[in-house]
Amino acid sequence: MNMFYSATCQSPVGTLFIVVDGDGGLQNLSFSSKKAGIASSVPATTECDHIKTGLAAYFSGKTAKFGINLRPRGTEFQKLIWKTLSSVPAGTTISYKELAARAGKPQAIRATANAVAANPIAIFIPCHRVLASDGTLGGYSAGKGDGGPKNRENLKIKSYLLDLEKQIEKSRKSDQKNKNVSSH
């Protein structure tokens, strides 16, 4: 039987609950201990430190790229959607319809939305980058409780993450531009 380790991490948008497997692969990252499956894990000592380090770099505005081994559990379709979603660049957004098309499943818009809602790894699999077709925030299931569009706390989290990533990308592009100028 595979061991699972859990830890918490404080962030500007609340407590994050982390679950990794015995090899350090991230199984779950959630704003809810219930969604994270904390009950079926043992408290971590150092097993989750690499996740906390990645989150600290993210929330300090240093990076939106992670070298984290992701091991989400789900159906093959869900994993396809999550992999496709992971290719959406930080600082940008996508609609469910666009995401379904990029995954090669243009008719599966509702199933794509359901897969996004079932994402077990918030932030690292960036479901917050998916917007409703009219460009509004829509919902955010990775937050606390119900993920629907009426959950204002979740929408504040989603908005915060999108704004943070825009700032990270703006800084990255500025640093890259300065690097290119100084090398000439």
Q: Residues with catalytic annotation?
A: 127
Cα separation of 135 and 121, whole Å?
23
| Phi, psi of 130, rounded to the nearest 5 degrees | -95, 125
Q: What share of the chain is helix, strand, coil (3-state, %, to 5)?
A: 45, 15, 40
The pair of three-digit structure tokens given for residue 108, joined into one six-digit string: 């599966």
| Phi, psi of 5, rounded to the nearest 5 degrees | -120, 145
Cα separation of 21 and 42, whole Å?
10
